[in-house]
Amino acid sequence: MAADEPPERQLRVMPWWLVLVGLLLAAALGWLVLGLLRSEADRAIQPDIRATLRIDAIRTGLTVVAGTGGGLALLLAARRQWIAERAQRHQEAVATRDQAHRDRVQAHAESVADAAQRHQDRQSTAAEHDAAERRLTELYTRAVELLGNDSAAVRLGGLHALERLGQDNPSQRSTIAAVLCAYLRMSSPDDEPRETEVRRTAQRVLTRHLRAQDETGHWPDVVLDLTGAALVDFDAAGCTLVDATFTGATFTGTTTFAGATTRGRLLLGSATLGDVVFDGLTAGGEVVLDDIRVRGLASFDGAEFTDGLSCRRSHFVGPTSFRRATFGQPTSFDATRFQDATTFQEAVFDGALSMEHTEFGGSASFHSGRFAHMALFRWTIFGAEALFDRARFTDAANFGRARFHRMASFRDTQFSRPPQVEQARAAVDPGHRWPAGTVVERFDDEWLVLVDEGTSSAGGGRGA
């Protein structure tokens, strides 16, 4: 029975004597009516009228008995109808409850079957996942074993197996990249051509998927940790590098990051390079080149260092070019040595620049450079020509104690305020073109000393 259905009152069986009592009451009522009417008829004076009245009395008594019996019969018929309707309602209620019970049983059975199916599906999925993981682990283990084989050909096969594994399983790409980086970090026999080819292949596997433009071939968010690695003709041109670390790495041959994009830091501190090309590099994070040594050509033409560049205590042996490079944050070349010709022509320094104790062995050109913040050239050594023609200094410029061993030219250079040149020295050269307001005094037969206007000693002369 439903909780909201009112409980039915219990049906009682009518006793048989109740019907007998009703009949007796009907007979008694008829007899009483008959007796009353007969007593009234007996009072009649005329015999014929008295007989008629007695007959009417009998008829009336019988009618009362019949009517009372009919009423009792009607009540019994009404009771039977009520019982039949109640039985019908009871049957309908029982049928409804039975149907509801069957529905609940069916729903429960379906729920149990659905839960069993979901459990079976989970078990099947888990089994498939476990099988896939086991297969993946076996393939990975086998590829790594191939990578550790003594045969160079087998190691090449291991590299391609790892690449295919990463291509088919995106979740394993970071792990595979870490394995390849670890392989490149391991020491290798010197001048071993076959091992060199294996390493070149490992490099190409990494850079190929950092350079790819299509979604299937590109491996996003792969972090390179090549600390101390030995790299040969490393080509990261057009790659997207995320927090790439090359600290202490040794690059032989030509290294290129031309057109590359970095997200996060690019660390090459203490690295050793041959020829290196950073043309068109877009650096979204800090670039660290502290203590690097570049034995050949270094080109940074058109590079963008949004978060600045740190290149302190570095050594550039060959020609170096930062032509049209852009530096967004403070940039430092402190104590760096440029052994050959170096150019920053048309470079833009949106942040502060520091070149304290920097040494230029060859010519240094800052022609048409733009310096938006303070530019420090204190104690800087210019071993050859120093060209600042048409440069523009929006903020302070400090050349205090700098050394100009050859001609210095500031032709058409714009300064927002007079540059500080206190105690800077320059070799005697008739080609010097000093900033307006600079006082030049002879120090000895070989050297001139520069002093700020207003602090010169008597007899000082202005530079040409």
pLDDT in tens, 197-241: 999 999 999 999 998 777 778 898 899 999 999 999 999 999 999
400 within domain boundaries: yes
397 within domain boundaries: yes
347 within domain boundaries: yes
298 within domain boundaries: yes
**Range of the structural domain that residue 285 is part of:** 223-462
What is residue 318's three-state secondary structure?
coil
Last residue of a domain, one of 113, 140, 169: 113
440 within domain boundaries: yes
For residue 45, the model assigns a pLDDT of: 62
56 within domain boundaries: yes
Q: Are 269 and 388 in the same domain?
A: yes
Q: Tell me which amino acid residue 218 is.
A: H
Last residue of a domain, one of 84, 113, 142: 113
For residue 249, the model assigns a pLDDT of: 96
Last residue of a domain, one of 113, 130, 157: 113
Write out the H or E segment, with its range, that includes residue 375. strand 375-376
What is residue 376's three-state secondary structure?
strand
Q: Are 240 and 375 in the same domain?
A: yes
Using 70 as the pLDDT threshold, list the residues of the chain that sit under it: 1-14, 16, 18-19, 30, 33-34, 37-38, 40-46, 48, 50, 53-54, 57, 61, 132-133, 136, 189-191, 453-464
Q: Which two tokens stand for residue 334?
A: 């402190």
Q: What is the pTM of this model?
A: 0.73
8 A C-beta contact, residue 276 and residue 296 = yes
C-alpha dist (Å) from residue 186 to 154, 182, 348 = 17, 6, 40
DSSP letters spanning 171-199 = GGHHHHHHHHHHHHHS---TT-HHHHHHH
Q: What distance, in Å, lies between the first and last C-alpha atoms of the chain?
A: 116
Q: Are 294 and 440 in the same domain?
A: yes
Report the alpha-carbon distance of residue 371 to residue 413 in Å, rounded: 11
Report the alpha-carbon distance of residue 246 to residue 286 in Å, rounded: 14
Residues forming a β-bridge with 293: 272, 315
205 within domain boundaries: no
- The total number of structural domains that make up the chain: 2
Mean pLDDT of all residues belonging to the chain: 86
What dihedral do alpha carbons 392, 394, 396, 402 form, nearest 10°?
A: -10
8 A C-beta contact, residue 399 and residue 375 = no
